[in-house]
């Protein structure tokens, strides 16, 4: 059975007004159109819904039984349409992890615009995230797309919104624990433990290129048991350190006496770009783009290190 929603709307309008003519006026169609729609619905259902009388129409017993379901059908159709109407659903945005700086950008946006509903997801890597943007599974992502092996698909664009400086994260017994700052060159020969670095992801590519540039070792050996286990290992080691973004909020047990030490001369910064599809009409995406680009100070001409872009950036369309 195929139930036409226009016919259901005509039926409900006649039931509410008791008049085909008034129903036609409410629906902004002709009386003949209303009559044809109701007749088609009756034929589809195999029952009479109205008794026609000179003064209008009365519901039959079958019409009375169908009326509440007809209203529910129209309500469900409206909710379904509203769920995908531009501005009618939450803006879905991917971030690398809910505890890192890219998520912090979204938290700041939500504080500035609490009227905008957000749906935050954390996909496995940048390639998957860009494909999700292209397919429409998400509205945007904030990723280091400069490190991806492939250029952005046609119709997908990006713009820088983040350059996050790195800190060296050590325990109290590490040789650099008392340093006010450390240069990347000083890390040559040292072990940087990052068990969360997954093969094929853009953040792993970033740290591999950083290590190759300055001569230290990125060690991914061992399971990633989470941040608490990382704290325990770093706190008790005199040789193992890791990297933490400057904007990444961390709270560790007081007894660990962990250290966050800025990296300087140059300062490695982790790049983040907002990535979106140019034909996405969600008004909240425009608001997010404006907020993030307005808050991005731009990249300094000197004093920092970040990998060169693997593929030329696409200019933004106006």
- The 3 state secondary structure assigned to 123-185 is CCCHHHHHHHHHHCCCCEEEECHHHCCCCCCCCEEEEEEEEEEEEEEECCCCCCCCCCCECHH
The predicted model gives 175-181 an average pLDDT of 96
> At which residue do the structure tokens 């001409």 appear?
301
Whether 260 contacts 167, CB under 8 Å? yes
* CA neighbor of 47 nearest in space, from 61, 34, 32, 68: 61
Whether 210 contacts 268, CB under 8 Å? yes
pLDDT score of 2 more than 80: no
* CA neighbor of 168 nearest in space, from 266, 248, 261: 261
- Band of the pLDDT at 13, cuts 50, 70, 90? very high
Partners of residue 191 on adjacent β-strands: 217, 240
What pLDDT was estimated at residue 317?
A: 46
Whether 123 contacts 200, CB under 8 Å? no
- Band of the pLDDT at 53, cuts 50, 70, 90? confident
List of residues 6+ apart from 297 with CB closer than 8 A: none
CATH superfamily of 91-163+270-305: Periplasmic binding protein-like II (3.40.190.10)
5-84: CATH number: 1.10.10.10
Cis ω for the linkage preceding 48 (within 30 of 0): no
What pLDDT was estimated at residue 118?
A: 93
Whether 191 contacts 170, CB under 8 Å? no
The predicted model gives 272-299 an average pLDDT of 95
* CA neighbor of 35 nearest in space, from 57, 5, 59: 57
- Which pTM was predicted? 0.73
Helix pair 5-17, 31-45: axis angle to 10 deg: 110
Question: Domains of the chain: which residue ranges?
Answer: 5-84, 91-163+270-305, 164-267
Task: Calculate the CA 124 to chain-centre distance.
Answer: 13
The predicted model gives 26-48 an average pLDDT of 94
Residue 293 DSSP label:
H
Average model confidence (pLDDT) for the chain?
Answer: 91
Distance CA 211, CA 230 (A): 20
CA geometry: angle at 292 spanning 245 and 167, to 5°?
A: 10
The fold adopted by the segment(s) 164-267 is D-Maltodextrin-Binding Protein; domain 2 (3.40.190)
Residue 310 DSSP label:
S
Structure tokens at 76: 């469900």
What pLDDT was estimated at residue 308?
A: 82
- Asked if 91-163+270-305 and 164-267 have one fold, the answer is yes
Partners of residue 305 on adjacent β-strands: 268
Three-state secondary structure call for residue 41: helix
Q: Which of 12-26, 88-102, 301-315 has the highest mean pLDDT?
A: 12-26
């Amino acid at each position: 059975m195929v139930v036409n929603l226009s016919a259901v709307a005509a039926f409900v309008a006649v039931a509410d007004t008791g008049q085909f003519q008034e129903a036609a006026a409410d629906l902004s169609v002709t009386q003949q159109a209303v009559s044809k729609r109701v007749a088609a619905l009756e034929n589809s259902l195999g029952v009479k819904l109205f008794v026609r009388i000179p003064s209008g129409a009365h519901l039959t017993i079958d019409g009375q039984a169908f009326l509440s379901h007809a209203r529910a059908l129209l309500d469900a159709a409206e909710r379904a349409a509203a769920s995908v109407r531009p501005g009618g659903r939450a803006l879905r945005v991917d971030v690398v992890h809910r505890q890192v700086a890219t998520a912090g950008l979204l938290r700041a946006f939500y504080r500035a615009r609490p009227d905008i509903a957000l749906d935050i997801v954390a996909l496995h890597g940048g390639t998957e995230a860009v494909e999700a943007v292209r397919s429409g599974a998400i509205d945007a992502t904030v990723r280091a797309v400069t490190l991806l092996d492939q250029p952005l698909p046609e119709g997908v664009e990006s713009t820088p919104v983040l350059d996050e400086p790195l800190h060296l994260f050590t325990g109290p017994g590490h040789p650099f624990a008392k340093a006010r700052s450390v240069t990347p060159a000083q890390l040559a020969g040292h072990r940087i433990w990052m068990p969360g670095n997954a093969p094929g992801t853009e953040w792993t590519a970033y740290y591999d290129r950083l290590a190759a540039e300055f001569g230290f070792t990125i060690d991914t050996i061992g399971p990633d048991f989470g941040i608490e286990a990382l704290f325990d290992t770093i706190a008790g080691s005199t040789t193992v350190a890791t990297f933490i973004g400057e904007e990444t909020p961390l709270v560790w047990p007081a007894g660990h006496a962990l250290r966050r030490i800025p990296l300087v001369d140059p300062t490695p910064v982790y790049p983040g770009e907002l990535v979106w599809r140019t034909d996405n009409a969600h008004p909240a995406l425009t608001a997010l783009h404006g907020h993030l680009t307005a808050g991005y100070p731009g990249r300094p001409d000197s004093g920092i290190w970040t990998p060169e872009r693997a593929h030329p950036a696409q200019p933004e369309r106006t």
